[in-house]
Amino acid sequence: MSKVVSTRLAADTEARLQRLARRLGKTPSETGAMLIEESLRQSEFAYIEFRNSPVGRQAYMKNSNLAVWQVMMLADEYARDLVKIANHLQKPVTWLQAAFNYAEAYPEELNNAIADAWAINYTTIKRLLPQTELISIPQEIMEEDI
């Protein structure tokens, strides 16, 4: 259930909201609600900030170029072992715990983003970037470096 909340904005703030709404393809009301929700989440979760991305606005980890869903995808590769993930990313465990906290609060958001990432393959990339070429590396060459 949603409620209508009225607020006064300075003329220049309203103009900026209009511009952002146009860029996002949303109404000013939808954009304002989104920005308030994002701001509330940022105030509730350490190390979380929202940024524009090619697929829309997403929760990112501060001081990195990683979206929260990317951290959680990596976490699955390390069986959610915070110390191993921290070593891999060269970040403090508390920084990683913030990603886990956010993922626990918004599991559907993160699960959808991870599912979308796994859906990308050579065919989908080739459609977007026709110049893409597939390069195959024999397994025995890959094993030489191990």
pTM (global) more than 0.75: yes
Spatial contact of 67 and 109, defined as CB atoms under 8 Å apart: no
Phi then psi dihedrals of residue 30, to 5 deg: -65, -40
**Which helix or strand (DSSP H or E) is residue 58 part of?**
strand 56-61
Question: Can you give the three-state secondary structure of 108-120, one letter per residue?
Answer: HHHHHHHHHHHCC
Is it the case that residue 145 has pLDDT exceeding 70? Answer: no
| Beta-carbon count within 10 A of 71 CB | 24
Q: For 69-119, write each residue's pLDDT tens digit.
A: 999 999 999 999 999 999 999 999 999 999 999 999 999 999 999 999 999
Q: How far apart are CA 118 and CA 110, in angstroms?
A: 12
What tokens appear for 137 in the block?
Answer: 């590396």
Largest CA distance in the chain: 66
Residues 96-108 as b or e (16 or more Cβ within 10 Å = b)? bebbbbbbeebee
**Which helix or strand (DSSP H or E) is residue 52 part of?**
strand 48-53
